[in-house]
Structures are given as C-alpha cells and as structure tokens.
C-alpha cells in the first residue's frame, strides 16, 4: 500500500460558545491516496465542509481544531505557523468553493487573479505566468482564452466562472483539491459538464480530490471511495459502488433508500424519520440511534456506547451490528481500499 | 459612458441654475439695495436715477438674466463693505481655503484609511478599541471646540505652532501658497487637523465597517485558499472593494470641508473665503454672499462629477452595465 497523500487522524473541530463547547467534527479519520477521489456526503451540518476547511487551515474563528492530526505526504500540517500553512494553500492543496459567482473578486480581471496565484507560488516571470494562465483557461475549456483573460468575472456566465475557479485551484499544480459543493450553485445541465471537467483534469494531473457534496449522483459518477458523515462523525466509508449498492450502516441504507427511482410511480418519497440531532443535543451512544430502525437487534449498547468504524461487508461502518463480524478497529482509522 | 457624462453635466447645469436663482433672490430678500447705498437724505429723484442706472427698474427675469450673464463671466459686482470687485476678493481668498481644505482632506484619507484598515484587521486589540472610542469623540465634538483645544495645547501651553493666520506666503501667479515656507507649513497644521478631524474619524469608521463586510465575502475566503499573502488579501483584494463608498463619502466630505471651513477659518483667523463670508454676513454684504454661494455650489457640483467618474475607474462592473440610472 502506498503512503496516503492526505491522512487525517482523529480530527476534532470545536466551537466554543456561550453555552459550552460544541463539537462539530468528532474524531474523524480518513485517508486519500494519490490520484484518488474521495467523496464526502452527508446532510447539512454533518461536518463535511468543516472537515474540508480544517484540512486547508481555513476554519473560521472561533472554530478550531481541538485535537487530532492532519498529515500531507507524511508531514504534519495542522500545527504549522500561519505563514507556512499559507504556502501550502494553493500550492499543495487547492480549493474550490460552492458559489462561483462570489468566489472571484469582481474588481480584477480573471487573468490578474490567476497570474497572481501563479506568481505567489511558482518561481516564474510575469510573462510566463500570463502564458500559463492562458493555457489553464484553455485547459478548462474557455474559448478564446487569450482574449477572455482580460475580462472581468461579471463578463462570464456561472458555468464559465466555475471553470475559472477550477483553473485557479489548479494554477500552482496542487496534489490535492478540496472541492466543497462545486456544482451546487450551478444549473443541472452545467453541473455534469463541470464534474466531467474536474474529473478529467484531476486524472490528467494525478490530482487527488476530496469532493464534499450532498449530491449522491455526483458521488456515484466521480468518486473512488465515499465517506458518509452523520452528526460530525463518519458513519460509513468504503468503495463507492459498495456503499451505494450494498450499504451496511442503517443510516446509509436509509439514505440510499431515499433516492427516488425514476421508473417507479410512488405516492410519497421514502425518508428517514426524524432529523439529524443538533450539535448541542447529540444523543449518547450512537448518534443515529433515535432514528435507527435496527436498534432493537443490538440492545442497550446503541444508546450507551459509541461505535467506532467496524469492518462491515466490503465497507466499514460505525455500527454495533457488525461488532461480531469483524475486528474492532479501535483507532477509528479506515483502511484504504485503494490498495 | 459618454451619455452618462452628458446626462450628469445637464443635471449639474440645472443645479447651478437653482443655486444662481437662490443667490439672486438674496438681493431682494435683504431689502432695497438702493436705500442701503444712498444716504438717508437722498431725494426720490436720486433714488430713481440710481435704480435705473443699476437696472433695478427692469422686470425680474431680465434682472436674473443679467445676473447670470455676469456670474458666468465671474462678475459678481462690487463688495459693499470693501468697495472692490467681489471676484477679485474671492480669487485672493480662494487659495487659502483650497489649501486648507485639501490638506484636511489628505489628512482624512492618509490617517482615516490606515486606521480603518487597522481597526478592522485587529478588531480585538485594545488599540483598536481605543481608536474606535476616540473616533466617537471626533464624530461628536464640534470642530470649533477642537480648534480651541488645539490652540490651547499647541499654541498657548507648548508654543510650538502659531495660533492664527497663514504665516508667510509665496505668490505663484495669482495663487498664493503657504506650502513653501516653514512658517506657512507650521501655520496650516492646527487648522487642517481641526478641519480634518471629522473626516478622519468618519472615514476610519466607514473603512472599518466596509472592511469587516468585505472580509466575510467568499472571494476573500477563496483568495486565502489560493494561498495569497495576508498583505495581498487585505490590501489588494479587500481594501479595493471598500473604495466605492469611501470615494462617495470623501467626495461629499470634500465639499463639506470647503463649505464649512467657515468655522475653522474664524477660529484660526485664516484668511480664506469662509472668513470673508462671515464678515460679509455681519455687514449684509450681499454681492459677496451671493458669489460665495455660487462658488461653493460650483465646487460641490464639480466634486460630485469627479466622484461619479471615479466609480468607473474603480468598479469595472459599472463600465458595461451602466444605463441611464442616476448612480447612487
């Protein structure tokens, strides 16, 4: 097994508030191998975006990493001084945010914003940076890139702007891209284009991607592995086909069951009863237990003891149902399935 | 863009016509100028003759037309108090007021913007809190009081700076400047601080509020995610996005500074237009008051026009999307 590009160990993100400490990301561990696309899905507030923000060191205060480690190529990065971390952002970890309409500074041409990023990280002349910016725009499929480079963001459509954002994320050839809901703000027809483009570029450049989304379709199409998050923890993690077609955790089962099938005529869409607990009211034991349909099969353990990730079928699930089928993975570290 | 400028110019002309009309009405409101000019014992025949020679027997609109025609040529008549052409008086005083106002505006920008940026970036530091509290004082204290305090401290107690006047000036053509002599430079410090105090605090608070707003935006977050240096993020990306409102307020303030230099000029006996105006009011010197009104109106109009044009320079979105609407 190759060394993972990114390794997150027991990450915990907390927000001190007046009413006490809220734990938004609770003891998460995951790895991303070079060239791998890891999808992270979950409901709003499950902690997926915060995990991404923690990895690029852009948690907004008062949010902070309370414990855990983040390693990039085996080097610990979460405790770097701010200016050292800044050099990693863009250069080694790129980012794409949800809304391309607001990700670009309206007062500067896209060319200026791209060359600025290149000049910050790479040792090139301004002329070389400009040429590279044009090449990048060409690569992300912007026609007449040599002219468009002098245009302002408002002169581009939403889809085109997200292409510019992708070119910005790739500007300094990072090894990993954190894409936080990259298609949510786009039209459905544009979404597919952007996802295809992102996938193609990352394959060509050998870039790994952590794709944060709540769109199962995007995950199914793009990811190699997928992590399902629930209330700040990973509920299940495994190869994408397994998680989608053969989910193990009752939450994932419910999630997959809730995806409507185009061929069926149904009166009501399937749903998981109840809603995700709020951060200040996470139940003891398994956070999913109040909504779980299979709680009775295990007994009191579900409401008293929190399950770590356990081997379950071909994936790993944090559920006591699997406590006798596999060995307990005490560190909550999933094994990379990419090997 | 051109259509916009033309539209703005037409609006400006309308504004100037209105100001001119108000200035013109001053002559009629304050009483019969003929009785002011002639001794009480003058006969009715004398009065009629003077009235005729001044054109005051003409209908109202003819008089207004004559007034405008003269005003456009810079002819506002003769000062009742000083017996000299008003335009000449104003031209003599204009440099003093403009130098004072510009210095105050430069203080406002050079001190106000950095302080605004600082208090936004280091919002939790005690220095920011002190500056912010201090700025409340600046916003609320009337500026004659600040002027008197400054005179007390720096002129009376410490004796570092002069308490009145403009110091030694140098004439360059019709323009007299105090910037070329040490005395002149020393003399402008206190009045400029007094006049600039309000703009400094206003600009500081405005820049701070705008910066805090901009720092929350996605493009700033994205700029950080691209690994740009803090300086590039704060000054390259954030500060520029705060400039449109800052330009608006600075423009309005510049007009206000020039117009309200009256008080500061009075406190410091600064030989500018404001002082001239105050003396004119005390003497009911209508031609001077009318001319002052027109000049200040003109300065406001020009400043606003420049502000509108600066928007285009700063914000590329306006250059394309701009249609007929008024702007702000």
pLDDT over 60 at A318, yes or no: yes
CA of A76 vs chain B CAs: smallest distance (Å): 18
Q: pLDDT, tens digit, for every residue of B158-176? A: 888 888 888 777 777 778 7
Q: Which domain holds residue A251?
A: 1-92+176-186+211-258+273-339
Task: With beta carbons under 8 A apart, name residues in chain A contacting B222.
Answer: 95, 97, 103-104, 165, 168
Whether residues B219 and A121 touch (CB distance < 8 A) is answered with no
Task: Report the pLDDT value the prediction gives residue A210, as an integer from 0 to 100.
Answer: 93
The torsion defined by the Cα of B126, B128, B133 and B138, in degrees rounded to 10, comes to 150
Secondary structure E strands in B114-214: 170-172, 175-177
Q: What average pLDDT values come out for chain B (328 residues) when binned by 10 residues?
A: 83 91 80 73 82 78 85 82 85 88 90 91 87 85 86 86 80 79 84 89 91 90 89 88 86 82 87 87 84 89 86 77 41
Q: pLDDT, tens digit, for every residue of B85-123? A: 888 888 888 888 888 898 999 988 999 999 999 999 888
Give one DSSP letter per residue of A6-19, joined into a string: EEEEEEEEEEEETT
Residues B106-109: contacts with CB within 8 Å, 24+ apart? B106/B196, B107/B192, B107/B193, B107/B196, B107/B199, B107/B200, B108/B196, B108/B199, B108/B200, B108/B202, B108/B203, B108/B250, B108/B253, B108/B257, B109/B203, B109/B250
Task: Report the pLDDT value the prediction gives residue A339, as an integer from 0 to 100.
Answer: 37
Is residue A35 in a domain?
yes
Whether residues A90 and B227 touch (CB distance < 8 A) is answered with yes
Minimal Cα distance from B232: which residue of A? A116
Number of A to B CB contacts under 8 A, please give it.
80
Let me know: does B80 contact B281? Beta carbons within 8 Å: no
Go through chain A and tell me how many residues it has: 339
Q: pLDDT, tens digit, for every residue of A266-312? A: 777 778 877 888 888 888 888 888 888 887 777 778 888 888 888 88
Measured distance CA(A198)–CA(A179) in Å, rounded: 10
Is residue A111 in a domain?
no
Nearest of A253, A251, A315, A328 to residue A289 by alpha carbon: A251
HSE toward the beta carbon, residue A299, CA cutoff 13 A: 2
Whether residues B217 and A102 touch (CB distance < 8 A) is answered with yes
The pTM of this model reads: 0.79
Q: Which structure tokens are listed for B164?
A: 């009145």
The verdict on B218 touching A (C-beta cutoff 8 Å) is yes
Cβ contacts of A67 within 8 Å, gap of 6 or more: A10, A11, A12
CATH number for the domain that contains residue A15 = 3.40.50.300
Total of domains in chain A: 1
Tokens 């061929």 found at: A263
Is residue A46 in a domain?
yes
Cβ contacts of B153 within 8 Å, gap of 6 or more: none
Is residue A299 in a domain?
yes
Minimal Cα distance from B225: which residue of A? A89
Whether residues A154 and B320 touch (CB distance < 8 A) is answered with yes
Whether residues A106 and B317 touch (CB distance < 8 A) is answered with yes
- Residue A189 burial (C-beta neighbours within 10 Å; 0-12, 13-18, 19+): exposed
Label the pairing between strands A37-42 and A225-230.
parallel
Minimal Cα distance from A167: which residue of B? B226
Domains and CATH numbers, chain B: 31-73 (no CATH), 86-321 (1.10.3720.10)
Q: pLDDT, tens digit, for every residue of A140-197? A: 888 888 889 999 998 998 888 888 998 998 888 899 999 988 888 788 888 888 888 8
CA of A24 vs chain B CAs: smallest distance (Å): 20
Task: Report the pLDDT value the prediction gives residue A263, as an integer from 0 to 100.
Answer: 76
Other residues' Cβ atoms within 10 Å of the Cβ of residue A313: 16
Whether residues A106 and B223 touch (CB distance < 8 A) is answered with no
Average confidence (pLDDT) over A243-254: 87
Q: Which structure tokens are listed for B234?
A: 């704060």
Strand, helix or coil at B174?
coil
Q: Which structure tokens are listed for B120?
A: 């936004």
Measured distance CA(A37)–CA(A219) in Å, rounded: 9
DSSP A229: E
Other residues' Cβ atoms within 10 Å of the Cβ of residue B162: 19
Q: Which of B219, B227, B230 shows the shortest C-beta gap to A87?
A: B227
């Amino acid at each position: 097994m190759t060394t993972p590009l990114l390794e997150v160990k027991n990450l915990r993100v907390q927000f001190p508030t007046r009413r006490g400490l809220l734990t938004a990301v609770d003891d998460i561990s995951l790895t991303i191998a070079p060239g791998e696309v890891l999808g992270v899905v979950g409901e709003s507030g499950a902690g997926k975006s915060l995990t991404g923000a923690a990895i690029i060191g852009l948690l907004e205060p008062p949010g902070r990493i309370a414990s855990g480690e983040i390693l990039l190529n085996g080097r610990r990065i979460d405790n770097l001084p701010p200016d050292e971390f800044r050099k990693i952002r863009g250069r080694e970890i790129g980012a794409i945010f949800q809304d391309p309409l607001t990700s670009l500074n309206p007062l500067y041409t896209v060319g200026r914003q791209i060359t600025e990023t290149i000049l910050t990280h790479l040792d090139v002349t301004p002329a070389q940076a400009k040429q590279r910016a044009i090449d990048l725009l060409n690569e992300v499929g912007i026609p007449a890139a040599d002219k468009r480079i002098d245009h302002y963001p408002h002169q581009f459509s939403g889809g085109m702007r997200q292409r510019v954002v992708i070119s910005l994320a790739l500007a300094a050839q990072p090894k990993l891209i954190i894409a936080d809901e990259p298609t949510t703000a786009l039209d459905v027809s544009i979404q597919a284009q952007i996802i295809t483009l992102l996938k193609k570029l990352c394959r060509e450049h050998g870039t790994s991607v952590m794709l944060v989304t709540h769109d199962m379709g995007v995950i199914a199409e793009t990811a190699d592995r997928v992590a399902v998050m629930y209330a700040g923890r990973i509920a299940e993690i495994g190869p994408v086909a397994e998680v989608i077609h053969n989910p193990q955790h009752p939450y994932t089962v419910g999630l997959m069951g809730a995806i409507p099938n185009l061929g069926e005529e149904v009166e009501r869409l399937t749903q998981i009863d109840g809603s995700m607990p709020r951060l200040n009211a996470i139940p003891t034991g398994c956070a999913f237990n109040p909504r779980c349909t299979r709680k009775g099969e295990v007994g009191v353990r579900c409401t008293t003891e929190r399950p770590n990730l356990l081997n379950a079928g071909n994936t790993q699930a944090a559920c006591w149902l699997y406590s006798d089928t596999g060995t307990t993975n005490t560190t909550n570290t999933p094994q990379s399935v990419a090997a | 863009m051109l259509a916009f400028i033309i539209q703005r110019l037409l609006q400006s002309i309308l504004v100037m016509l209105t100001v001119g009309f108000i200035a013109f009405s001053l002559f009629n409101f304050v009483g019969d100028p003929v009785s002011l000019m002639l001794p009480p014992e003058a006969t009715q025949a004398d009065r009629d003759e003077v009235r005729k020679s001044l054109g005051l027997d003409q209908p109202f609109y003819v008089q207004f037309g004559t007034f405008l025609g003269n005003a456009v040529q810079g002819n506002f008549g003769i000062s009742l108090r000083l017996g000299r052409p008003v335009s000449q008086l104003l031209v003599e005083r204009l440099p003093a007021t403009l130098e004072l106002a510009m210095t105050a505006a430069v203080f406002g920008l050079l001190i106000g913007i950095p302080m605004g940026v600082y208090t936004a970036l280091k919002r939790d530091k005690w220095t920011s809190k002190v500056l912010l509290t201090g700025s409340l004082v600046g916003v609320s204290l009337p500026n004659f009081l600040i002027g008197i305090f400054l005179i007390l401290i720096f002129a009376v107690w410490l004796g570092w700076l002069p308490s009145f006047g403009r110091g030694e000036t140098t004439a360059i053509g019709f323009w007299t400047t105090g910037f070329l002599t040490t005395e002149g430079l020393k003399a402008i410090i206190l009045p400029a601080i007094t006049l600039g105090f309000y703009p400094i605090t206003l600009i500081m608070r405005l820049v701070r509020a705008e910066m805090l707003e901009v720092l929350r935006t996605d493009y700033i977050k994205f700029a950080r995610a691209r690994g740009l240096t803090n300086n590039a993020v704060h000054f390259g990306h954030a500060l520029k996005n705060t400039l449109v409102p800052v330009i608006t307020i600075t423009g309005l303030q510049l007009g206000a500074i020039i117009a309200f230099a009256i008080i500061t000029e009075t406190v410091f006996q600064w030989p500018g237009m404001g002082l001239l105006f105050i003396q004119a009011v005390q003497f009911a010197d209508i031609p001077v008051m009318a001319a002052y009104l027109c000049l200040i109106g003109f300065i406001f109009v020009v400043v606003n026009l420049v502000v509108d044009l600066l928007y285009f320079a700063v914000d590329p979105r306006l250059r394309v999307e701009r249609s007929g609407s008024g702007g702000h």
